[in-house]
Amino acid sequence: MKAYRTGGNVRWTRAVAAGVGAALLVLTVGCAPGVGTTETTAPASPRASVNIDPTSMGNVTLTIWDQEVRGGQNDEITELNKQFQAKYPNIKLDRHAQSFEDLQKTGRLVLTGPDAPDVIEANNSRSQMGAFVTAGQLVSLDPYAEAYGWKDRFPQSVLRLSSYSTNGKAFGSGSLFGLPQVGEVVGFYYNRAKLSKLGLSVPQTWADLEQQLKTIKTAGETPLVLGNLEKWPAIHVFGPLQGAHTPADEITNLALGNPGGDWTDQTNLAAATELQDWVKAGYLNSDLNGAAYDDVVAKFGKGTGVYFLGGSWNTPTVDAALKGDVGFIAPPPVEASAGPSTTGGTSLPFAVTSASKNPDAAAAYINFITSDDAMKVIAAKGNLPVLHASELAPASGVGKEVYAAYELVTTKGHLLPYLDYATPTFSDTLGAALQDLIAAKKTPAEFGAALQKDYGDFIKG
């Protein structure tokens, strides 16, 4: 999302004909090089044995904390929970669903208290999963990965984004601490009728997009809508802007907290300047810093604005609201012949907490909701499954366009890591800095300096 947050980047060689499923193999390759470090801390000692037969686990109640609260997200997890309990009536599920923002806040607290859940959806970032691993609050899933064959089912590129050394320092190597359900890509949703009425077609280059924003504003429409009250949404707007200015390898280093990036260089300052210029020109709604993300998504679904820049997890919601009158494209590249660069990766992984008295049942639940059959349910509910996407792509509609955009980015462009992965405090630092940049309380140079201090201090440490 995180809302999702859900909120990486990617690539490697393979035929486009292999489709989005193959693209998933790439999904983190663009994110993944640089994901690991030279840290060689050994993974946690595996349990001597694990039980993978849920029917033999006795009567168990599993407490689940997730943030699958939006439209199709809630639909898929509700259906899968129903199927799990029907198949394993001895295991009861006590689900606690909450917003991404609430889970970010309460997750840190609940894992230290007596009421920690058995399963929690943990943000891959250093501030969440990395911190939980460092504190010993999550169970290494390595023995379950072996027993259930997860390393055969999931490409290593996906598993890396849920892997840490047991001291939490190495991101992308070490032990497996979670499994995701969904692939994610940030792009432009657009109102087909409004774009057509203005005599416009989808932009082919970044320059085309910039010109369109001006044309739409002149015509009296709001070109681009955003709700940034929660602070993280603007990260998903800045990410594609950064992708249009900054080399992908530098963004990857910055996003994963690895050496080699510089938030104060001219490319990152150019991205910050362009965002601030968009705001000054009136290309975004005037209340964006005070408007809630979901409220603005709902308004877009009712016809407010021409473009909405957001993650693919919004597809079920906007598709249901605009009833076929919505399209989706990856952010256009700077050069027409180049591939697009944009933010994306996987949804938040489901992890087993160290406080769980039933880790075998918890792991069985995670196995069930990430199975091949689960991917079919996820796709049927309008989401982008992290596995088998090529076989499960919709035949038409905006869902088909989302799958196509994901394939285009992962096969010909760069799927860039979520920027808040970078340091344990970077989500707060970047969110606050973006609000200040948008409100003109910070210049682009001051914005870059604030981010560089957090990133630089972490790298030095």
Shared domain check, 213 and 153: no
CB-CB neighbours of 416 under 10 Å: 28
Shared domain check, 297 and 168: no
Domain range for 355: 2-183+346-416
Q: What is the pLDDT at residue 171? A: 85
What is the spatial distance between Cα 165 and Cα 36, in angstroms, rounded to a whole number?
A: 10
* Per-residue pLDDT tens over the stretch 183-201: 999 999 999 999 999 999 9
Shared domain check, 193 and 113: no
* Per-residue pLDDT tens over the stretch 370-404: 999 999 999 999 999 999 988 899 999 999 999 99
Q: What is the pLDDT at residue 71? A: 84
Question: Of 64, 23, 61, which is closest to residue 369 (Cα–Cα)?
Answer: 64
Shared domain check, 368 and 300: no
pLDDT in tens, the chain (461 residues): 434 333 333 322 223 333 333 333 333 323 322 333 333 333 344 455 899 999 999 999 999 999 999 888 999 999 999 999 999 999 999 999 999 889 988 888 899 888 999 999 999 989 899 999 999 999 999 999 999 999 999 988 789 889 999 988 888 889 999 999 999 999 999 999 999 999 999 999 999 999 999 999 999 999 999 999 999 999 999 999 999 999 999 998 899 888 889 999 999 999 999 999 999 999 999 999 999 999 999 999 999 999 999 999 999 999 999 988 999 999 999 998 899 999 998 999 999 999 999 999 999 999 999 999 999 999 999 999 999 988 899 999 999 999 999 989 988 899 898 999 899 999 999 999 999 999 999 999 999 999 999 999 998 87
User: What residue has token string 């087993």?
Assistant: 352
Shared domain check, 367 and 229: no
CB 390 within 8 A of CB 405: no
Shared domain check, 350 and 322: no
Q: What is the pLDDT at residue 25? A: 33
Q: What is the pLDDT at residue 48? A: 57
Shared domain check, 341 and 430: yes
Cα 158 to chain center, whole Å? Answer: 12
Q: What is the pTM of this model?
A: 0.78
Shared domain check, 172 and 214: no
CB 319 within 8 A of CB 326: yes
Q: What is the pLDDT at residue 69? A: 92
CB 208 within 8 A of CB 268: no
What is the spatial distance between Cα 131 and Cα 141, in angstroms, rounded to a whole number?
A: 17
Shared domain check, 265 and 279: yes
176: region left, alpha or beta (phi > 0 left; psi from -120 to 50 alpha): beta
What is the spatial distance between Cα 346 and Cα 356, in angstroms, rounded to a whole number?
A: 25
Shared domain check, 175 and 79: yes
Question: Of 228, 224, 231, which is closest to residue 277 (Cα–Cα)?
Answer: 224
CA end-to-end span of the chain, whole Å?
Answer: 28
Q: What is the pLDDT at residue 95? A: 97
Cα 369 to chain center, whole Å? Answer: 18
Number of domains within the chain = 2
Q: What is the pLDDT at residue 107? A: 87
Q: What is the pLDDT at residue 15? A: 30
Question: Of 403, 450, 376, 354, which is closest to residue 116 (Cα–Cα)?
Answer: 354
CATH code, domain with 143 = 3.40.190.10
* Per-residue pLDDT tens over the stretch 354-372: 999 999 999 999 999 999 9
- Enumerate long-range contacts of 25-28, CB under 8 Å, 24 or more apart: 25/155, 25/157, 26/157, 26/410, 26/411, 26/415, 27/155, 27/157, 27/158, 27/183, 27/344, 27/345, 27/346, 27/386, 27/410, 27/415, 28/157, 28/158, 28/160, 28/161, 28/345, 28/346
b vs e for 121-131, b when ≥16 Cβ sit within 10 Å of the residue's Cβ? Answer: bbbbbbbbbbb
Parallel, antiparallel or unpaired: strands 119-121 and 60-66: parallel
Shared domain check, 439 and 331: yes
Amino acid identity of residue 216, one-letter, is I
CB 182 within 8 A of CB 24: no
Shared domain check, 148 and 72: yes
